[in-house]
A = this chain, B = another copy of it.
Amino acid sequence: MFVPKDPDFVNRVRASFARQSVMTTIGATMTAVEPGAVAIELPFRADLCQQHGFLHAGVVATIVDSACGYAALTLMQADAAVLSIEFKANFTAPAAGERFVAQGRVVRAGRTITVCTGEVFAVAADREKSICLMQATMMALGADAGLRD
């Protein structure tokens, strides 16, 4: 459905993800990169939780924000940088599971603004449950623009 402007988008997106130090810190990996869609996976860790032992909502937001941002980047020009302008997340169930899969998808790719939806699934031995929905706005910044709007 989407045709990337940069044929080398997979390598470009994976290289950028590798520079997100927080992903290494929390143990998240990028498990899929397609035109307009990215998946990031995070195994449960007891040191990333809130007060009741569930994954912290902010950590959930961290992986799905990156999934949305990189989904947007798959469709941008080779020299563009992507910036999260804003996101909104609903937490629909406690983040309990063995691992968490965040999916980001582009729903509208404009010249400057890309709108994405994201969803996070908690996965355990016997089930997969949706725990978070995101709606996010991403911005493309040209190489000449620096990193500011």
A30 at the interface (CB under 8 A from B): no
Q: Hey, which chain B residues are within 8 Å of A48, CB to CB?
A: 21-22, 25
A78 at the interface (CB under 8 A from B): no
Chain A residue total in the interface (Cβ 8 A) = 54
A51 to B46, CA, bound (A): 25
Q: Hey, which chain B residues are within 8 Å of A62, CB to CB?
A: 56-59, 61-62
A66 at the interface (CB under 8 A from B): yes
Q: Looking at A84, A90, A111, A148, which has the most chain B CB atoms within 10 Å of its CB?
A: A90
Knowing A24-B47, A86-B86, say if A107 contacts B91 (CB, 8 Å): no
Tell me, rounded to whole Å, the shortest Cβ–Cβ distance linking A7 to chain B. 21
What 1/0 flags go to A74-104 for Cβ under 8 Å of B?
0000000101111111111110000000000
**B46 in contact with A90 (CB, 8 Å):** no
For this chain, the copies found in one complex come to: 4
Q: Hey, which chain B residues are within 8 Å of A130, CB to CB?
A: 107-108
Q: Looking at A58, A65, A133, A137, which has the most chain B CB atoms within 10 Å of its CB?
A: A58
Give 19 pairs: A residue, B residue, CB < 8 Å, sorted on A.
A21-B47, A22-B49, A22-B50, A22-B56, A22-B59, A24-B47, A50-B66, A56-B62, A56-B65, A57-B84, A57-B87, A58-B58, A59-B62, A61-B62, A86-B135, A88-B88, A90-B135, A111-B149, A117-B133
A residues at B contact (CB < 8 Å):
16-17, 19-22, 24-25, 46-52, 54, 56-59, 61-63, 65-66, 81, 83-94, 107-108, 110-113, 115, 117, 130, 133, 135, 137, 139, 147-149
